[in-house]
Amino acid sequence: MSATVTGTEAAGGAPAPTAPAGARVAVLAAAVALAPTAPEDASGARAAEASAGPVAAWCDLRAELGRGHRHEPVAAQLALAAGRRAVAALGPALDAVPTDRRSLHVATSVAASATHARMDATVLAHGTMLLSPLTAPYFSVNLVGSRLSAELAAHCGATTFTTPGTAVADALVSGLRDVTTGRCDVAVVVAVEEAADPADRGPSTPETGAVALVLAAASGPLQRAGVPTPAVRVRRGTWRAGTLPADLDELTGDLVAAGGAVPGSVVVVAGRRLHAELGAWAPPWPLARVDVRGGGAGAYRPAAALLDAARRAARTGAPALVLVVGPDGHLAGVHLHVPAAAAPDPTPTRRP
């Protein structure tokens, strides 16, 4: 899956400065979604995790990563596995990119929650000396992508975004800026979550999985390898209680005006408590229906919805729009237009 990502994004709904003529263009050169293989029930049948989603490939993390990772947090393993697959999809083209021209951008909300809860319980019951040397390095959520950062040799920089619900949009914008401003040539964006500790979970449904995207300069080695460049646009904004429909109208209007193409499908990812209000909302153009999906503070479901919409756009040739309503007042929208001939689907859905 490949796409041009433009600079038409802004915080707070304000238009971002337009890129000057001849500015660098970013290409979404690879994408993959993974969910861990679900445990088997008593009958031997696999129990499907509610968080997996239709776009994720099921994987056995131990078989995927090999030895030496079993005691690491599941989120760290998922980030590494998804990042490896996305980078592998590029083939040898990545070898032409110097390590100081590669960056990593991780989006998450509660990926470290379960690990931190176990660490807290160990410290309270036994003291710090019994902390595992394999999990202790993950004392901060910022370190969930550390193994992937080291393996990728992302010497241009590594950042983590934890905005509830819309972190993946923040990570996409950060990677976009790295590439379009010439700071680096390749930016890997990973959205990853592990089911939170019950004390941190709140009303959100647990989600476990990872989505990895690779942004690259359209004029760089990947483009010379023949990577096509359909358009993707990102814009961020805010919403308030009682004004959500109007806030969505403003955000979608800005995206469509910037993209120049009316979406044929709209997916909204939001918490269950907002579904009744969203059920009465319709975009300001003719559309058969709006697909409202469950979400919350996590980054995985919005990223999986983004890949699902991109696949639909690839099949139909019609633009697609993904809107994410964060629980704390954040909004994000991603406009995709992926011609079917330009974007073979890289994400298998068959379980092993």
pLDDT of residue 47: 35
Rounded CA-CA distance 116/245 in Å is: 37
> 42 pLDDT exceeds 70?
no
What percent of the chain shows pLDDT beyond 70?
Answer: 72
Task: Summarize pLDDT for 267-305 with one digit per residue, the tens.
Answer: 999 988 888 888 778 888 877 678 888 888 888 889 988
- Average pLDDT, stretch 10-39? 53
Do 127 and 156 lie in one domain? The reply is: yes
- Whether the CA torsion 122, 124, 125, 126 is positive or negative: it is positive
The closest of 111, 296, 113, 295 to 198, measured between CA atoms, is 113
Q: Which CATH number belongs to the domain containing residue 125 in this structure? A: 3.40.47.10
Closest CA to 330 of 231, 234, 200, 237: 237
Do residues 56 and 199 share a domain? yes
Is residue 351 in some structural domain?
no
At residue 218 the predicted structure's pLDDT band, cuts being 50, 70 and 90, is low
Last residue of a domain, one of 203, 224, 245: 224
334 & 254 share domain: yes
258, 287: one domain = yes
Residues 112 and 219 in one domain: yes
Tell me which of 131 and 226 has the higher pLDDT. 131
347 pLDDT exceeds 60? no
In a domain, 25, yes or no: yes
- Among 194, 224, 254, the domain-final residue is 224
Could you tell me if 279 and 173 lie in one domain?
no
**Which residue type sits at 177?**
R
Percent of the residues in the chain that have a pLDDT greater than 90, as a whole number: 16
In a domain, 335, yes or no: yes
| 116 shares its domain with 20 | yes
Residue with tokens 């070898």: 95
**What mean pLDDT is reported for the chain?**
75
Find the domain containing 187 and state its range.
4-224
Instruction: Evaluate whether 331 touches 281 at the Cβ level (below 8 Å).
Output: no
Quick check: pTM over 0.85? Answer: no
> What count of other Cβ atoms lies within 10 Å of the Cβ of residue 109?
28
- Indicate the helix (H) or strand (E) that contains 107: strand 102-107
Beta bridge partners of 320: 265, 336
- The verdict on 214 and 292 lying in the same domain is no
User: What is the torsional sign of CA 267, 271, 273, 277?
Assistant: negative
In a domain, 124, yes or no: yes
pLDDT digits (tens, 9 = 90+) for 144-153: 888 899 999 9
Do 203 and 252 reside in the same domain of the chain?
no
Same domain, 184 and 290: no
Residues 330 and 262 in one domain: yes
Is residue 352 assigned to a domain?
no
Convert the pLDDT of each residue in 80-108 to its tens digit.
888 988 888 887 878 888 999 999 999 99
pLDDT reported for residue 202:
58
- Total domains, the chain: 2
Whether residue 288 is found in the same domain as residue 219: no
Report in angstroms the alpha-carbon separations of 187 from 154, 327, 328.
Answer: 9, 27, 27
313 lies in a domain? yes
Residue of higher predicted confidence among 224 and 163: 163
